[in-house]
Structure 1
Amino acid sequence: MAQQRDTAEADRTLKAKHRAIWASGDYPSVAAEIIPGLGALLVEACGVKAGDRVLDVAAGTGNAAIPAALAGADVVACDLTPELLEAGRLMADRSGVDLRWREADAEALPFADADFDTVLSCVGVMFAPHHQAAADELVRVCRPGGTIGLLSWTPEGFLGQLLTALKPYAPPPPPGARPAPLWGDPDHVRALLGDRVTDVSAERRTVLVDRFETPEGFRDYFKERYGPVLAVYRAHAEDPERLAALDRDLAELARRHDRAAGSGPTVMEWEYLLLTAHRTDTSP
């Protein structure tokens, strides 16, 4: 019993840390300015249509939830971080759509079994630390025959490499937590979902990112706005040498991925995995 209490307390602490990371900086601007079209792409790949009941898991500011609502679906957007949900509400109001926003942990969704026609997540659920628990929940709340759709950064792509570059500067992950970019590995996701899904389609694609003048401009933007990067910088705020090394590493990463190779504004292609599947009739 004591061990269960300790485990539950450790999980609460971990989730509180995750909330704080994503509430820091300005993720709403990152989603809106860097990857504005990815949510709509996922919604289209899932075949969302008017009248469908849709759940967007780890929805953030609603990059996928808002396009799903614009398609006429009945949408619930859930996320661990209330600050992101509030920003999403404002964006939905500006878009003229009505959907429900719910604070929720992707590893313990507060919804009934088989409650949704489509369950999707756009670069969101991949950051839940316990992959199998999150995958089990995605399957559980999707009705038999329904669609599960995931868009995740790949380990080999730019964002996967960015997260890898942060590891030497970050504290070790807690026991059981797995690297987020594994959700961009189709074999890993297939193993998580198992025989509870069928008709799996997995395709690697890229999104063009060309808004930064220099690799250093990318670095400075992300160190101010992207929670996981900002958290690492804050952890070394009193160590100028570590901060300088981190500055160099992130700028060099962007420089290696720069297709323009210094001949103009920085142009990068960030790889992601687009995966869709249908829930089988077996129980989760």
Structure 2
Amino acid sequence: MSAAKKLVVCGGSGFLGSRICKYAVARGWDVTSVSRSGEPRWDTVTSSPDTPSWSHEVSWERADILRPATYAPLLGGADYVVHSMGILLEADYKGIVSGRDSPVAGLQKMFSSSSAGRGVNPLDRKPREDIKPSDPKLQFSYEVMNRDSAVALAKHAVEEGVGAFCYISACGGAPIMPPRYISTKREAETAIASNFPGMRGLFFRPPFMYDSSRKFTVGMAAMAGAGTIFNGLTGNYLKDFMGAAGTKPLRVDVVAEAVVEALGDDAVRGPVEVPEMEHLAAKAWRKTML
């Protein structure tokens, strides 16, 4: 019997990451979750505060994604690594709602297309060196959280001989999202693919994800679904404008199951869009029926 595959999920305590862990455990994989919190507070990611039985098979580790020295030792012997963390809104928004910053100035920062001085190049850093910028206010920028943390993780995964790396990116942004949200996701994809060609890279581009355990996501999914129908009726004429708002939403379990299926299939690499996610999830489901 072959040895169980080892999976490390950075962001494994989150909405999507916890479900990736769940489906990997179901396959008999050795699963490690890495996050600042360790084990999730289950009522924030599922419909129950009770600890699910499968979670006892996961090693819930605490680490800081901006401090590679805290997570790099956990990558040893891993077959697959997943980066499932990022931010939808930058830390600037906290200053706006607290009144510390001018709403106009804060929104200008968030929606600015310029990324100058906001990021840290992990490729220029020594092994396991922190990737935190000198300005603490920029630690939670799109550039650092969505791009640089992923490139640093991929760099250390390569050093540990990891076979496949899955980056949770995003489909085209909705019109209300700051442009740097999606641009930093694409920059991460490009940097990982070009700098680490020997490691199989998978770039999942999920749309809006929902689950009944988070009631508000169901309503948001309904709105997104209406946008998808409208986009189809107009012959995708407004596809570029509508972005994610015109893309069919998916249950978070579909995306998670697709990620695990893709990691186990050497033929899957590069960008993975919504239709392929549905195909991979269906393929995984059929295996459970055998």
Structure 1 length-normalised TM: 0.45
Structure 2 length-normalised TM: 0.44
Structure with the bigger RCO (C-alpha within 8 Å, sep 6+) is 1
- Which has the larger share of strand? 1
